[in-house]
């Protein structure tokens, strides 16, 4: 893990040496990662639009035949949530509020489940693990206190390496599971909000890594072991850094 974080630090320094980016460079990279992040994060949760279909919806405003309004809204809302966290990234981490997190979730579920959008759940939630054991998330009455502890942790844990800090914030949030739906998407947006605050590009967890990702979260739930999820995210971030640098140096245009 130390070697991987050192590689990331070195790539980050190289990226910083290429800054400031022009407006066209920023727009080009945003186009690439808005589509990539949105496709993968929604696909992890079961959205069936392909990468090319996601691109058509976001960049061309095209409706995909045979796909539900629900799935289209998941794509559109996720892109809007990315725009929102990019604005939030100008805040200090200590200034992130409960309202900010609720707003991220509200955007994700807007028009999909307005009754629960931006509202902590009032019902218990269980999930079946792949070994068929049943895992119970915290009771609804515990969520307020757990989220207060989450924000206290954010304020008091910024001495961690930025990547480990962002990963642990993501994983702590997932373990609380404060919403009826949209917890995973919200957690991955929080992860990238914190990375943005430190000047990193987004870490995009690929849908092809879904099983590894869920197993890594399970490792935290069972043993509070951050290494598997931290390794996965760090490798995703390394890939993004390399792609950012290559795009800038080779003047690649993404369509």
Sequential pLDDT tens for the chain (255 residues):
889 999 999 999 999 999 999 999 999 999 999 999 999 999 999 999 999 999 999 999 999 999 999 999 999 999 999 999 999 999 999 999 999 999 999 999 999 999 999 999 999 998 877 778 888 999 999 999 999 999 999 999 888 999 999 999 999 999 999 999 999 999 999 999 999 999 999 999 999 999 999 999 988 877 788 999 999 999 999 999 999 999 999 888 887
Report the pLDDT value the prediction gives residue 133, as an integer from 0 to 100: 81
| Residue 239 to residue 235: CA distance in whole angstroms | 6
Report the pLDDT value the prediction gives residue 221, as an integer from 0 to 100: 76
N residues, the chain: 255
Chain-centre distance of CA 237, in angstroms? 12
CA-wise closest residue to 75 among 41, 101, 102, 100: 41
**Cβ–Cβ < 8 Å for 96, 85:** no
| Residue 126 to residue 191: CA distance in whole angstroms | 23
Whether the full predicted model's pTM is greater than 0.75, yes or no, is: yes
Report the pLDDT value the prediction gives residue 252, as an integer from 0 to 100: 86
What single-letter DSSP state applies at residue 41? H
Active site residue 177: yes
CATH number of this structure's domain 2-249: 1.10.3290.10
Report the pLDDT value the prediction gives residue 189, as an integer from 0 to 100: 98
């Amino acid at each position: 893990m130390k070697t991987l974080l050192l590689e990331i630090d070195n790539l980050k320094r190289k990226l910083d040496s290429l800054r400031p980016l022009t407006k066209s460079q920023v727009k080009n990279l945003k186009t690439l990662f808005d589509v990539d992040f949105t496709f993968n994060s929604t696909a992890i949760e079961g959205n069936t639009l392909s990468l090319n279909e996601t691109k058509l919806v976001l960049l061309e405003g095209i409706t995909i035949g045979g796909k539900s309004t629900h799935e289209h809204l998941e794509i559109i809302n996720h892109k809007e949530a990315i725009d929102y966290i990019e604005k939030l990234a100008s805040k200090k981490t200590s200034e992130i509020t409960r309202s900010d997190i609720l707003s991220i979730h509200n955007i994700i579920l807007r028009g999909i489940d307005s009754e629960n959008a931006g509202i902590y759940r009032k019902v218990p939630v269980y999930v079946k693990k792949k070994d068929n054991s049943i895992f119970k998330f915290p009771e609804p009455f515990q969520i307020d206190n757990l989220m207060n502890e989450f924000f206290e942790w954010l304020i008091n844990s910024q001495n961690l390496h930025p990547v480990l800090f962002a990963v642990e914030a993501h994983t702590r949030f997932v373990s609380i599971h404060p919403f009826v739906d949209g917890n995973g998407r919200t957690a991955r947006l929080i992860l990238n909000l914190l990375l943005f605050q430190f000047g990193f590009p987004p870490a995009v967890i690929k849908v092809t890594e879904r099983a590894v990702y869920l197993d890594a979260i399970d490792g935290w739930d069972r043993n509070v072991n951050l290494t598997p999820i931290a390794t996965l995210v760090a490798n995703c971030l390394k890939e993004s850094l390399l792609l950012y640098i290559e795009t800038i140096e080779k003047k690649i245009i993404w369509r």
